[in-house]
Structure 1
Amino acid sequence: MNYYEKAMELKEETIMNRRYIHKNAETGLDLPRTKAFVMEKLKEYGLGPKDCGYGVTATLGKGGKVILLRADMDALPMPEESGESFACPTGTEAHACGHDFHAAMLLTAAKMLKENEDALEGTVKFMFQPAEETFQGSKNMIKEGILENPPVDAALAYHVSPGKMPVGLYMFNDKDTMMYSVDGFKITVTGKGSHGAYPQSGIDPINIGVHVHLALQELIARECDPTHSCVLTVGQFQAGTAANIIPQTAVLQGTIRTNKVEARELLVRRMKEVTEKTTAVYGGRAEIEMISEVPPLICDPKLTDEVIGYMKELKIPGLKGYPGISASASEDFAVIAERVPSTFMYLSAGYLDERGEYPAHHPKTQFNEDVCPIGAACLAHCATQWLKNNK
């Protein structure tokens, strides 16, 4: 089967699926409408989908090696201002990161692979996951056995990218970190509440929180290797209910992102030590909760090079590679890549006109649907060829 020609024939169907998921955007782990739609489509295409935690999985093929194809399905908790006729009407959810494309393209790939199942020389496993934006989905599905029964030998995922660029670019990194780690943290500082006129009677958690924030910034300035990329951001600081009351608690929430495993280990450890010791100096106590813990995304060089070769075989007009891409954003596919040889690539879904002015996660972002057959064809063809060459 020529997967690109077939994907072009199925382009309108892929777009319809994408638009349904887009209009019915859901966030987090529990995506009832999206999950039901994906399962319904997989059954329609002849597969036998199953629950896997909060996600959906299915397999096809005839034993042998197993390649996992992954798509996330969740949206962002934000309003949509794209102006699209199929925009999510709730005003509180928006597919502003393209996960609707990922799910729709993988559905089309599943349909094509099912039609070509007799020619497969191994097994394809599908992973439709929730909660990528909250870094919970991969872990949930791994816990529920997505990488087992049958065990996975390799994994592949694509991510569409908006912006001012033409459709047809694919961006990858086969030599270094593709995306940064993410360790989200919540610090609850407990002091002693008192009247604002008598600060000596209390222990001020706001004052403590300020010193904690300042101390954490010194970790980047004085403890991190300057050849590493490291970010420590405190994006939320909440405390108090009135101007004349010293509150009992203050809460700081932030994120640590790095491109090196050793830098991540250092920053997470020192964030906890500095917080606890700084809080103790001023007479308070700190409780630290890790909200998310995802390693850097490092792609397998051999698999990445193989996949690039298979993509070139499709002879898709305008398809062009850009190597060495690295992003300080994070991706929970890294949890998969930490366990099995994996590769992850961006596919451009941009516009060269004014529609390309907005990035992902912006309320007005728009994605070019011409990427749909490219993504679907690459998923199906690369899976087929990898199985053929890795028996």
Structure 2
Amino acid sequence: MLRRTAASVHDYRLTAQSILPRTLFEYVDGGALDESTLARNTADFEEIYIRQKVLRGEKVDPAGPVLGHIASFPVALAPIGSLGMLYPQGEILAFQAAHAAGIGACLSSFSVCSIEEVMPEVGDGDAFQLYVLKDPGRTEEILARATAAGFRNLVITVDTTHPGMRDRDLRNGYRSAARPSLSMLLDCAMHPRWFARSWRSLGRGLGNFAHWDGVGSGLIAQAAYMSRQLKTDLTWSDIEAVVKRWPGRVVVKGVTDPEDVARAIGIGADGVVVSNHGGRQLDGVMSSIAALPVIASRYSGEVEILFDSGIRRGSHLLKALALGADGCLLGRSYAYGLAAAGADGVIAVLEMLRKELTMSMSLAGVTSVEDIKKRHMACVSLREARPNVSALVGFS
């Protein structure tokens, strides 16, 4: 049950904050260092105006392709680690909710539910997200299991060769403590709604790695261990080897520089995600929405260009599509819904965003995602008081 009737993603965030132990909420909500990029990811959307066009008298259809699949609106659920700690069976519920809403979902390598547990839910528009590990044998095992589970899309995250330094996580001990501290345990006990639904699954760890030697037991220990197993000297040659090995589509996630997009295209990637990891890795970089237009202007049509980071409203989706995204990935928005109300919360968040996008499209005089792409920059304009942002995002 929500504390009040939710009208927006912001309301679901407040409910999630009240339900979750501080450690878990800050894991979802926080960003790197001073969180300036985290804030900018959403704030920079407000520097872009939608151009209103009225009395067009045409029906709006927000459906569009994402990850090789026609979605009810052009989004998919982004990979988020440890969803199963926000709500029991969280990854399975997220996939079920996504499919009920007519969109796809991406399973994180760092999931609580294993690949095999999620396998019955896997459809054509879904994806598995890979972190390349130091041990090539373990990376190969994960790829083989994802292939066997029926995933056709592989999303390779490339902006985590060094773990982001997140002050909130450092303070509360997440991914640094070997086991839950007394303060963590007390915090869990002080959140009875979360504890009542989650206590049976508290012993679970990261499902994809729990059987490996040395990984430890429990989420805290396993998350700390696996964060040290990521390949820190990852190169484009390593990504190319995965592209050649994977039988389906490959998307490179975590690029904001046009030269990196060119490299991804050069090694045969089918798509890229313009993303700064939700402001969770390198603080002080430009927002993802500021990085998008230049990339889209150079490479639209050559590769599927997906966008994430900072989306909280359906109008943000319209702005990203108008600036050149082929589709968008949702992260924190649906995580708040999951934490608040399980699958129902995710479905509600998705329905909110779909309705907001449809309304925004209607009042902007566009009837389809294809129409947005054709009109492109004619759908939006920049706040004139911020010429410095104009230079960043490529407006003239």
Both proteins in one fold, TM over 0.5: no
Q: Which has the higher strand share?
A: 1
TM-score range, shorter chain: under 0.3
**TM-score, normalisation: structure 2:** 0.26
Query: Which is greater in Rg?
Result: 1
Q: Which has the higher helix share?
A: 2
